[in-house]
Copies of this chain bind each other. A is one copy, B any other.
């Protein structure tokens, strides 16, 4: 985290969606938060009524930079059985072509990051899918979209399930295995805190594995109870794991944006107040993480795996 610290925070634009509202309205609402200095746009949804140039201006008007684009396949009926893993070659190709158009739009806006969450690429039943074929098709498609424009990074965002009962890329290690097979320099992983939790992973370990075997290209912060994609405010349930993740990100040299991927709408919350709460608590936990990253006493306790000592130091830093 050694940026000029700009931009620091982005948020899920759809969290600011109002019934009947436009993308421009969402961007304006995000601007009202204060402290959000970047945003991701969804492709093709957010580009339906605006050109890339217009969207760039809308962001700039709110003092926000483009962090990157995120593909969305699920809105098209054609991708319900899969995008890169669809049994029909023509539909797979349509998904690849759509992704390349998204990468073009990203590049046109000066963006350098395309995030791929392959939500439909999974299965619901035993005996539904040929796993080996689905894997091969995914590797080939990923390599193809990575080759489309080497100056745009392709980040795979894994998630255990939903909408499918099982995802082909459900967790960090499966994603890293795939990235080795894809074998392209402009690829990496986006780590979503709630996904990590309900994949049964410890966030800092997931980050360490990613740093060793690939690159961390994005961090989606939020929180949850480890059973589903709760999308709660960052730091509200797992402050200690959140702090440890920040220490791991610093160690990994991650200097990208922290993107709040939360769902204030599910619980009827005001998205602006919710975003401000995310920023306030994250700022606090990041500061604590920076202190702990410097602590020689903590490093020594970890080196001897002395959890009573290390937990004590962490508790003191957190709670005084």
Contact = CB atoms under 8 A, between A and B. Distances in A.
Contacts of A313: 127
Contact of A236 (B80, B125, B236, B292): B125
A87 B304 contact: yes
A47 interface: no
A240 B305 CA distance: 25
Contacts of A288: 319
A233 B311 contact: yes
Given A230-B124, A232-B125, A319-B285, A269 B307 contact: yes
B310 A128 contact: yes
A65 to B, nearest CB: 25
Quickly give the copy total for this chain. 4
Interface residues of A, number: 95
Nearest to A318: B319
A151 to B, nearest CB: 28
A101 interface: no
A281 B315 contact: yes
Interface in A25-78: 77
Interface stretch (A9-17, A142-150, A184-192, A220-228): A220-228
Given A165-B230, A277-B312, A281-B315, A127 B244 contact: yes
Interface of A: 19, 77, 80-82, 87, 120, 123-132, 135, 160-166, 170-171, 173-174, 176-177, 180, 199-202, 204-205, 208-209, 211-213, 224-228, 230, 232-233, 235-241, 243-244, 248, 265-270, 273-274, 276-277, 280-281, 284-285, 288, 292, 298, 301-305, 307-315, 318-320
30 contacts: A19-B77, A80-B267, A124-B266, A125-B236, A125-B311, A126-B237, A126-B240, A127-B307, A127-B310, A128-B267, A128-B311, A135-B212, A163-B267, A164-B267, A165-B232, A171-B171, A171-B173, A173-B174, A173-B177, A177-B180, A177-B213, A200-B227, A225-B226, A228-B228, A237-B238, A270-B308, A280-B312, A281-B312, A288-B319, A320-B320
